[in-house]
Structure 1
């Protein structure tokens, strides 16, 4: 929020320690609320900046004084964004080393390389090209400039652009990958690993290791990558 042009309901909590509960993220986030945008907020917990899309906000409240176990001094954003929004956060983060959470227990580390209508491409040493639905990013945390994933030298892990053209939407991108072996949601279930047989009317059909078919709705798919 730059210059106070807009007023948000949480404005009274700005620069105050807050407790944030997110859907699909088991532990509450704690930190100083240092910026508020139209669909995203920014916290600082004394060591890291946390960009949190509001779509997952269950509730936000003032952090109890006995739980403020972090540096409470006000911290400016490293790269303030005028008229802060989720899409602008993604654009500003492109090419920077990031830690992302799609759920509360399994982070991904790497770089945003492309941003489409409702998904973005994330390049990671562990997962290579990771296609992430914008609807499922819970928390984005930039690393300090100069850091690289797993302490790799930059020449060993350059920021790679997409090697093939990307579709405009997540569903269209999944259709382009029909017939390929894929892993959904970072492999959090055996039934999400297998051959992507088809994507029709929002339903994904997977063929799993035992040859059986499994169906799931695309709205519940957080990410996809090829092993």
Structure 2
């Protein structure tokens, strides 16, 4: 039994990297993921354990009776919930994800590769997300359509063909293209990608004024083509 098992069904406070906080009953803990019910919004959040800084049982947690078992959308029968299984179950569902910065991203996850996944957003279109930087994923009810759009105007949810297996290979394929890393929060991560050094994992990018930037792929969280 893990140290988290005794908290399942109890109320907890969770602090994530970047000073993000959740409070509510812990629905499940897997080997690398927590599932928490945020009662204020009646939403279920799947949080990779690697980004959890602190878990604090609410002071009277030991006195609170265990909550009734509650299903969550990405639970599979007779399976232990894990981060990768959650991503696989999330394909085709309308979800909220958070990677970094001030905003969440809303859309549809379509493909899960070795270390990144493909995400379709009505705002940003196709985004490639480095898996290790995903902080949470929250599914919306099946009857909710992004931004109250007509169903026909929602971005396509089918997986692109011929995807590279790794985030590095994906970035190498964008050589010569204009790219936006990390959702454009930093102007030094927007520009023309000249190449990726296979030995150092550094991406060579030229920004708006022609300045050369070398970016470490290990620290890049998302990429999309403007």
Normalising by structure 1, what TM-score? 0.89
- Figure out how many residues of one structure are paired with residues of the other and give that number: 214
Partner of 1:59: 54
Partner of 1:39: 32
Counterpart Cα distance in 1 of 2:160 and 2:33: 30
Counterpart Cα distance in 2 of 1:78 and 1:93: 9
Counterpart Cα distance in 2 of 1:205 and 1:142: 36
Residue 118 of structure 1, CA deviation: 0.4
Counterpart Cα distance in 1 of 2:172 and 2:73: 38
What are the ranges of 5 or more consecutive residues in structure 1 without an aligned counterpart?
Answer: 1-6, 66-71
Q: Is the 8 A contact 2:125 2:155 kept in 1?
A: no
Partner of 1:206: 205
Is the partner of 2:4 in helix, strand or coil? Answer: helix
Q: 1:18 aligns with which of 7, 12, 17?
A: 12
Q: CA RMSD in A?
A: 1.6
What are the ranges of 5 or more consecutive residues in structure 2 without an aligned counterpart?
Answer: 61-66
Seen in structure 2, the aligned counterparts of structure 1 residues 9 and 56 have a Cα distance that, compared at 3 Å, is same
Q: 1:29 aligns with which of 22, 28, 42?
A: 22
> Which residues of 2 match residues 168-207 of structure 1 at below 5 A?
168-200=165-197, 201=199, 202-207=201-206
Residue 204 of structure 1, CA deviation: 1.0
Partner of 1:144: 141
1:75 aligns with 2:70: yes
Q: Write out per-residue CA displacement over residues 13-71 of structure 1, whole angstroms, 9 at most, x where no aligned residue.
A: 11111111112x32212121101111111000111000000111111111356xxxxxx
Counterpart Cα distance in 2 of 1:14 and 1:148: 31
Q: Is the 8 A contact 2:92 2:157 kept in 1?
A: no
Which piece of structure 1 moves more, 158-167 or 83-92? 158-167
Is the partner of 1:99 in helix, strand or coil? Answer: strand
1:118 aligns with 2:115: yes
Normalising by structure 2, what TM-score? 0.90
